[in-house]
Structure 1
Amino acid sequence: MAPRTTFIVAFQQSVTSKALRSYLAEFISTFIYVFVAAGSAMSSRKILPDARSDPSSLVVIALANGFGLSSAVYISGNISGGHVNPAVTFAKVVGCHIPIPTALFYWISQIMGSVMACLVLKITTVDHNVVTHKIAAEMTGFGAAILEGVVTFGLVYTVYAASDPRYGQLGSIGPIVIGLISGANVLAVGPFSGGSMNPAYSFGAAVVGGSFRNQAVYWIGPLFGAATAGLLYDNVVYPPLESDPPCEGGRV
């Protein structure tokens, strides 16, 4: 099939009623996750006298990230796959699981959900600013990108393992495990790079918070880490068998 024809077919598959429901699910789940994650960062700064140096602030944010992501993945998993993250979507495209047009619509939905969540927080809290992701003063952008890539690798690798049908139906356990690795990653690198692992979250906070400093860190690192995790899982650690069904949609 010619590339142009393939693209047209993929685009048609991306505008069906089922696909539109998936985009709505991604918007809602991303909104919920970012609202909880960004809101917890704002709440910790309001409640704690010196949230930036108080370790309990990091624990609060990590717990909120874990609980929020688990819930977001669970409510959208059966509709859109529960990506809630452009990095996860990117890995699925690179791994030939979803077509490019569908992935682009996923990205738009996720980014819009993130921006709306941060905007609601900004408007309703009046004098409080949305907390943007920042890297530690002693770190370089390259080092922060590496950290974000590593933690996103862990997150996406967990997403693949938790949603692999060859393991059997994990039900609610899968989203819980995904939430656990997310919270653990925030505890591990939060003070250094912010522990975003989600370009949509970082972008939404930057748009509403008014600071795009080091924004490339939260795109390049997570996208590279996610693609590496997906390719490693699909082709090395747990390669598909000849009896497995072909990739959905294919690459275009």
Structure 2
Amino acid sequence: MPVSRIAIGNPAEFGQPDALKAALAEFISVLIFVFAGEGSGMAFSKLTDGASTTPAGLIAAALAHAFALFVAVSIAANISGGHVNPAVTFGAFIGGNISLVRSVLYWIAQLLGAVIACLLLRFATGGLETSAFSLSSGVSVWNAVVLEIVITFGLVYTVYATALDPKKGNIGIIAPIAIGFIVGANILVAGAFDGASMNPAVSFGPAVVSWTWDNHWVYWLGPFIGAAIAALVYDLIYITPDTHEQLPTTDY
């Protein structure tokens, strides 16, 4: 059972150089990802006089996020695992692939990266608004929660299949692009309804900078539930105890 492998970790890990380097890698990757993803929406809105909520705007957002996430995961993969998402980190924690202590470090770094990216965007664009995620007309909070659960399930399941499964073999080479593709595809599906976050950090950065918190909890609850379900399903069905890579004993 994956739950039996959950590790709290050692508080001393907060000061370990390798843990801090991994957290820094997450900070940089999230900053790059959010700057490109959020920035693409701001640029499209400027070029079209506020018409970012159009089919063309949705396609532009999907492509920008897919490309940026491919790069963000790739550049951090060998250092932190390239989570670039608090929900992915939570899914990895549920499956016993990362300790709680290191997860907290990652979450702090990821949220800071998103906030700094949005602050930089606001400054670099002369004060343009970094729009917070919101629900479209006719979409209830529970509609959005279900959407976020399903699309985040797809994302974290992909992460497990291509990056975390010890049997992944050569498929691990394409993990970053597969992860980028599923995020881009999910934005095409859910972007018109709730913005298709899948990533609490991506929602948190614009919310802080614009100080807009309407229904913000949706973008935490949905992704965390979806991530947990994906981790449990993939681990229980496809990762057997004899193939699971245990955490180093120093992480317990």
- TM-score by length of structure 1 reads 0.91
2:202 matched residue in structure 1:
201
SS in 1 for 2:239: coil
Percent identity, please.
Answer: 44
1:167 matched residue in structure 2:
168
2:113 matched residue in structure 1:
113
Kept in 2: contact 1:93–1:251 (CA 8 A): no
**Partner amino acid, structure 2, of 1:213:** D
**Partner amino acid, structure 2, of 1:187:** L
What is the distance in 2 between the residues matched to 1:49 and 1:110? 31
1:244, distance to aligned residue in structure 2 (A): 4.0
SS in 2 for 1:197: coil
Give runs of ≥4 in structure 1 deviating > 3 Å. 169-172, 247-252
SS in 1 for 2:77: helix
**Partner amino acid, structure 2, of 1:145:** V
1:83-98 alignment to 2 at 5 Å? 83-98=83-98
What is the distance in 1 between the residues matched to 2:191 and 2:214? 17
1:241, distance to aligned residue in structure 2 (A): 4.0
1:145, distance to aligned residue in structure 2 (A): 1.0
1:17 matches 2:35? no
- Closer, same or farther in 2 for the Cα pair 1:113/1:53, shift >3 Å? closer
- Closer, same or farther in 2 for the Cα pair 1:121/1:243, shift >3 Å? closer
What is the distance in 2 between the residues matched to 1:243 and 1:34? 35
RMSD: 1.9
What is the distance in 1 between the residues matched to 2:17 and 2:105? 13
2:42 matched residue in structure 1:
42
1:234 matches 2:221? no
For residues 4-47 of structure 1, give each alpha carbon's deviation from its aligned partner in whole angstroms, at most 9, with x where no partner exists. Answer: xx85x622234311111100000000000000110011111111
Kept in 1: contact 2:22–2:80 (CA 8 A): yes
SS in 2 for 1:139: coil
1:3 matched residue in structure 2:
none
More deviation in 23-32 or 133-142?
133-142
Alignment gaps of 5+ in structure 2: 1-6
What is the distance in 2 between the residues matched to 1:175 and 1:12? 31
- Closer, same or farther in 2 for the Cα pair 1:217/1:18, shift >3 Å? same
1:93, distance to aligned residue in structure 2 (A): 1.3
**Partner amino acid, structure 2, of 1:173:** I
